[in-house]
Amino acid sequence: MQKYNISKSNYFYAIGLSYKKADADIRGHFSLDDDSKLALINQAKENNIESLVITSTCNRTEIYGFAQHPFELIQLLCDNTRGTVEEFQKVAYIYKNKDAIAHMFRVGSGLDSQILGDFEIISQLKISTKLSRKHGLLNHFTERLVNAVIQASKRIKTETNISSGATSVSFASVQYILNTVENVSDKNILLFGTGKIGRNTCENLVKHTKNEHITLINRTKGKAEQIAGKFNLLVKDYANLQEEISKSDILIVATGAQRPTIDKHIIQTNKSLLILDLSIPKNVNENVDDLEHISLIHLDDLSKITDKTLEARKQHIPSAEAIIKEVKSEFNNWLETRKFAPTIKALKHKLNDFATAELDTQRKKLSDFNEVQAELISNNIIQKITNHFAHHLKDDNVSTDESLELIKKVFLLEPSKKNV
């Protein structure tokens, strides 16, 4: 990004992996919890990374940041997760500069989501940006880019119907239950984990199943009670998990832990049990498949479900892309101005020097010299001149680089390259 005067020696990269090439197990290896994100940020600062934003969701883990080489960011990711460089190389993607910018727009606008139109990623991006800012790891470019992506996301959500109906993993899980379980309103449903996905799942369960037999369990009982109070649901202690599983017909696991929270040994029932694992890494041990009466569904399976609503959303992709194009164009226009901002600033200083020298001369010559009026006139003239040059440099029909060199040469803003 040297020519934009953003970074002298570094490039802007987006590195990561997503559901497109990495299955749930591999994505789990590269998943970052809050502690891992903080450790990564601290390591980045030690390595003199100037700006960095991390996203880690159920369907992707990405780092947007400045580096001389993308391996610097890849190493940060691998050092703070269970993933290896070899695994990363098999399934990952690397975007540079404007391609990285374009990628963030698609991700933040829900067009690259595992379920089309899922906007949960944008809240993750906001939280991650806030974290980077807090730790002094967010430059003006990255903050402006994220704000542009947020703007595009808001417009797509309000101006198109690409997110009509619920489009998240939490809704897909409830839709799966409705499509596969008979008399779902009479079934006992246990929701284990009341983080963001758990809360959204709970809301969709109440809204769409009309089930009055929903029980919540969370390691921190108070969090479950807050949600239960909103929907008048039952809450049980974490110590009663095994007992509640035995009573359940459907178990939804949304615990978001780094290791499985459910395995076959905790399931002490012989009746049929549908388990939906909405976590990355997987929070249900695959050994539950050893139990013949258990049906285990993971979120990768849920994302393959297509319905009429999802097909209808695809019709709004062109409108969403048009909005992205418009907002990205505004961002790119700002980026182009970064090319000549230092030259215009230097020109303004040079003109101010001219004005100061001339005002000193006139002040000595004229006994009735009007200081205030003279400075006002000179400042207005300088502003008009610099604005004129700026408008000239913004002209699409003008070679910005050639014009910048000419301005520098005429006004002696920096030593001629021939003399170096």
Q: Among the options 1, 6, 17, 58, which is catalytic?
A: 58
418, with CB counted inside 10 A (0-12, 13-18, 19+), is exposed
Known catalytic membership, residue 58: yes
Strand partners, 295: 274
The whole-angstrom separation of Cα 337 and Cα 4 is 8
DSSP class of 54: E
Give the contacts of 89 (CB within 8 A, at least 6 positions apart): none
SS3 316: coil
DSSP class of 99: H
Radius of gyration from C-alpha coordinates of the chain: 28
DSSP for 325-353 reads HHHHHHHHHHHHHHHHHHHHHHHHHHHHH
The whole-angstrom separation of Cα 183 and Cα 177 is 10
The whole-angstrom separation of Cα 83 and Cα 101 is 25
**273-277, strands of its sheet edge to edge:** 234-235, 214-217, 189-192, 250-253, 273-277, 294-298
The whole-angstrom separation of Cα 142 and Cα 46 is 19
Give the contacts of 359 (CB within 8 A, at least 6 positions apart): 374, 375, 378
Whether the bond between 342 and the residue before it is cis, its omega within 30 degrees of 0, is no
Residues recognised as catalytic: 58
